[in-house]
Structure 1
């Protein structure tokens, strides 16, 4: 007798080849259009499916998990970050959680460097000028930025992405400094040419560019708060390709308005309050719609990871990318 195929609900449309492969392997429900599921739809999916495939827009909290049906045994997240999922409550209910690590490392590190260059070299201002009617020709004093070679880069969070950023920064001639929950091995520090700071406050006060590459957890919420932001040099730049919640966005906006921080490159914001109109209006901010992992190759590899996690689970084994609450 053939084995019953797993019922899988995917909350957003994925690359066509990923969807096609899923449909070959599982009983897949896809939305008719690419839009976020509302909470009612998400609750219904959790009541009926064996597996759901959510993304960072789907907030799966304790109240929603309480509505899960008896068949739901795996949440196979499409993405590396799982701060939108209450992993501890899932564990209490016997629901496994998996993610898609590693595949977005280089893409996100590339975007980090793109933002550093965009802010320090004022690329968006130049683009806007050329797309408008105001350009009067080249001038020696127009749109002067600063070179990044020789500048101190502080990396907050020296995991896979932070280390990939360090390697790229080395190629640009930047001095790499970092703060991390755990210090790297000496040989890794040597390879990266990275200087460790036990005190985040001391590092923040001395760097020219600060790159946020730590995950969003309860311990990192507003890690860059108003007090810590005020430690930064007025000519310093902050770049965030991690999660908006790591920075106190209101404090950052006030300091950017007052030119107490020179600029910011933000691929993420705190979406819980919507995107601040004040932040949008600032000329010294490069604001992007969470594009760090947005490559065709990356999305396809994320989908393959999701499929492997579900298939391994269907075969009676733990998903290779299972997330454990105690390690967040």
Structure 2
């Protein structure tokens, strides 16, 4: 019988992560890479000491109540933990960790891609060329919104928000931000702090969301707040789909109040919002903000680092 802790990896992580896990743990891997149900989570909790799940696995209060006492730690392969009921898991004595720091740049790259693509008609242009419909040109053809020198509002100036701000400065953007607390001057790099979201929205030619999904931020961008943005603004969301009232966003797009949107996350995942598909000024990606080889390895290794520390009797670096 193996003396190594038994670990369940719920999704197919990077090859390097799986190799290291198999070396150091008695590892069960879901090579089929399918979603796990609540019953799957409960059933497996009686068979393992630790789980590395992704954001797709939902550890809500009901699941937490039913988990087997054998399970000691959930080492998430994600930064966001809104899929975990932390108080409920803590009450069961189950440690929970995440993987901050390592995916900030990759996610910020996707935010930049979405911002540029939404502003410059990437979906419409690609479709036109790909379909063979590009048979004319005019100075008024596909005129978009210029990013360089524009005012960028960032909601949530944590690791990803700061990484995005660094990249946006390369486009000479004027950076404004709202955060729960003001950054130090060294962290701000000249960005303008707003102590309310409303004052940030009023000046944001582009608005990018980088805050977690919490009961306080769910539906943050509702009809009222979308209406506060300047006419023809562009909304970018690489954080969580729950931050945006999708019906209100669609209405703002249809009315022309918003020029465009760039979305990497949706209320319903996987799947997204089918109503968005009819609008080529909504640039969409399937929640791939951290999907680079470098970052996937780093996320997997960070989760394993947390497990290693836990089973050595130490406090994991990313214990929540």
TM-score by length of 2: 0.96
The aligned counterpart of 2:26 is 27
Superposition deviation, residue 215 in structure 1? 0.9
Contact 1:245 1:269 in 2 (8 A): yes
Contact 2:41 2:67 in 1 (8 A): no
Closer/same/farther in 2, CA of residues 321 and 247 from structure 1, 3 Å limit:
same
Superposition deviation, residue 273 in structure 1? 9.8
Q: Please list every run of 5 or more consecutive structure 2 residues that lacks an aligned counterpart in the other structure.
A: none
Contact 1:46 1:67 in 2 (8 A): no
Superposition deviation, residue 272 in structure 1? 6.5
Q: Does 1:251 align with 2:248?
A: yes
> 2: distance between equivalents of 1:32 and 1:82?
23
- Larger deviation: 202-211 or 36-45? 36-45
> 1: distance between equivalents of 2:173 and 2:86?
38
Superposition deviation, residue 292 in structure 1? 0.7
The aligned counterpart of 1:221 is 218
Deviations 1:44-96 (A, max 9, x none): 11232110111111111111111111111100001111110011111111110
Superposition deviation, residue 39 in structure 1? 2.2
Superposition deviation, residue 177 in structure 1? 0.3
> 2: distance between equivalents of 1:32 and 1:105?
27
> 1: distance between equivalents of 2:196 and 2:31?
50
Contact 1:49 1:69 in 2 (8 A): no
> 2: distance between equivalents of 1:261 and 1:146?
11
Q: Does 1:70 align with 2:59?
A: no
Matched ranges for 1:105-254 at <5 A? 105-189=104-188, 191=189, 193-254=190-251
> 2: distance between equivalents of 1:15 and 1:168?
27
> 2: distance between equivalents of 1:317 and 1:297?
27
Contact 2:266 2:273 in 1 (8 A): no
- Larger deviation: 264-273 or 306-315? 264-273
Superposition deviation, residue 168 in structure 1? 1.0
Q: Does 1:271 align with 2:268?
A: yes
Deviations 1:304-323 (A, max 9, x none): 11111111111111211111
Aligned length: 320
Q: Please list every run of 5 or more consecutive structure 1 residues that lacks an aligned counterpart in the other structure.
A: 324-328
Any idea what SS the aligned residue of 2:202 has? Answer: helix
Closer/same/farther in 2, CA of residues 187 and 31 from structure 1, 3 Å limit:
closer
The aligned counterpart of 1:326 is none
> 1: distance between equivalents of 2:58 and 2:52?
12
Contact 2:265 2:272 in 1 (8 A): no
Any idea what SS the aligned residue of 1:59 has? Answer: coil
User: Which aligned segments of 4 or more residues in structure 1 are displaced greater than 6 angstroms?
Assistant: none
Deviations 1:119-176 (A, max 9, x none): 1111221111111121114433221112211210000001111111111111101100
TM-score by length of 1: 0.94
Q: Does 1:262 align with 2:259?
A: yes
> 2: distance between equivalents of 1:316 and 1:60?
24
> 2: distance between equivalents of 1:224 and 1:21?
41
Aligned-residue CA RMSD (Å):
1.5
> 1: distance between equivalents of 2:227 and 2:136?
38
> 2: distance between equivalents of 1:96 and 1:294?
26
Deviations 1:253-312 (A, max 9, x none): 111111121110001111169532211221210011011100011001111111111111
Closer/same/farther in 2, CA of residues 160 and 32 from structure 1, 3 Å limit:
closer
